[in-house]
Amino acid sequence: MITDGRVLEDNFVPREIEHRNDQMNALADALHPITEGRSALPTFLLGPSGSRKTCLVRIGLDRLREECPSIAYQFVSCWEDYSRFRVLYQIVRTIDPGTVDRRTATTGTLLDRLKEFDGQVIVTLGEVDQLHDAKVLYDLYTTHGVSVVLIVNDVEDLFSRLDDRIVSRLRGTKRIRLDRYTVDELVSILGERACLGLRPVVVDRDRLAHIADAAAGDARVAINILRCAAEEAERDNADEISSAMIADAVDAARDDVQRKQVDEFSPHQRTVYEIVRERGSVSGGDLQEAYRDRVDVYVFSPSRSATSSISFLDRQTWHPFGFERPTRTHVILTPY
């Protein structure tokens, strides 16, 4: 059934990204100054989860790397590297490998090392709204030779939480929007994945359309549904992927996407998430109190850390994680 399992993973990066030609061209135009030895203006990639923002930038940078192999590239996931120090450390480790000792490095020495770099570096910040210290955006903007691509769902929401000094520099920058995929677009994407990763004629277009409809415009969910259904067919030694297998795969795929996203939560976001899951129903005040009881080391003040994590889960929407917000002061766990 499955001939190449890599293709059925949602993090697989193809050579081409379907139905994103305009956005790919816009990204190439935004980064073109780099090919002439100049820094590019910051570029935002905007859009909902599953619109393939990260995939688009990885393919775009792979193409640029072929044209300009001397340029340094660094992708930073702000889920994992959410502090000013961590972001700078990841960049400096790339442009000056082997010379940075994390145990003794400071934010100041890392910033100095970056400013001393005499080449070009492109920094992509994934999920930039997860930064706990947005001063690093100012650091990167004001450093010669650094070009930045910022991935975020909602740029205005991001701006509402940034210092005015940073916003004033970023407001007029390039914005590239990726909307949710249509059903037909997802069918095309799934058909290509099926051709590359499955035996011929194991899933027809109607069943791919069933998957696409269930995914609601999210390519990541769609690809995971196809993978889960194919794995069930393979376990059953079936000759094709049936509608029943797809129906079974929908919940499994969503659970898998949710689990991967929860795995990437910061410790503070995970704490808030676990409290709500354990209690089933909790008010904002009780959630703050439970958070303070569990966390010994805070990124900010205890109150602000919990508030930040609650706001984060609001921005992601509670429903994908099995929660609802009937009011602004209460969270309940609902069957998913």
248-281 confidence digits (pLDDT tens): 999 899 888 878 877 777 777 778 778 878 887 7
Higher pLDDT, 276 or 188: 188
Higher pLDDT, 325 or 41: 41
pLDDT, average across residues 132-153: 94
In the numeric block, the tokens 């300009």 are attached to: 68
pLDDT, average across residues 220-240: 96
Q: What's the pLDDT at 327?
A: 52
pLDDT, average across residues 124-139: 92
pLDDT, average across residues 211-230: 95
Q: What's the pLDDT at 314?
A: 54
Reported as a pLDDT band with limits 50, 70 and 90, residue 310 is: low
Reported as a pLDDT band with limits 50, 70 and 90, residue 297 is: low
pLDDT at 247 exceeding the cut of 70:
yes
Could you tell me the domains of the chain? 21-177 (3.40.50.300), 182-261 (1.10.8.60), 265-333 (1.10.10)
User: What does the mean pLDDT of the chain come to?
Assistant: 86
pLDDT, average across residues 144-165: 92
Q: What's the pLDDT at 318?
A: 46
Q: What's the pLDDT at 319?
A: 45
